[in-house]
Amino acid sequence: MTQELIDLRSSILEGRDEDALAIVNDLEGMSKRAILRNIESYLVRLLIQLIKNQSDA
């Protein structure tokens, strides 16, 4: 799921609307609980990376 979110973001930023819609369609097939669990996991990894970057500065 994390990779899907990254791909969705890239598709949107690069203006690849058809690719973005395809990813959204895939995500719709997942349960809300699975989506939330995966988003939470992604955010935890993002926060860890931000903390690591901050401590290196």
Cβ 24 vs Cβ 8: under 8 Å: yes
pLDDT of res. 47: 93
Q: pLDDT (tens digit, 9 = 90+) per residue, 4-53?
A: 889 989 999 999 999 989 888 888 877 777 878 888 999 999 999 999 99
pLDDT of res. 31: 73
pLDDT of res. 1: 61
Residues 6+ apart with CB under 8 A from 54: none
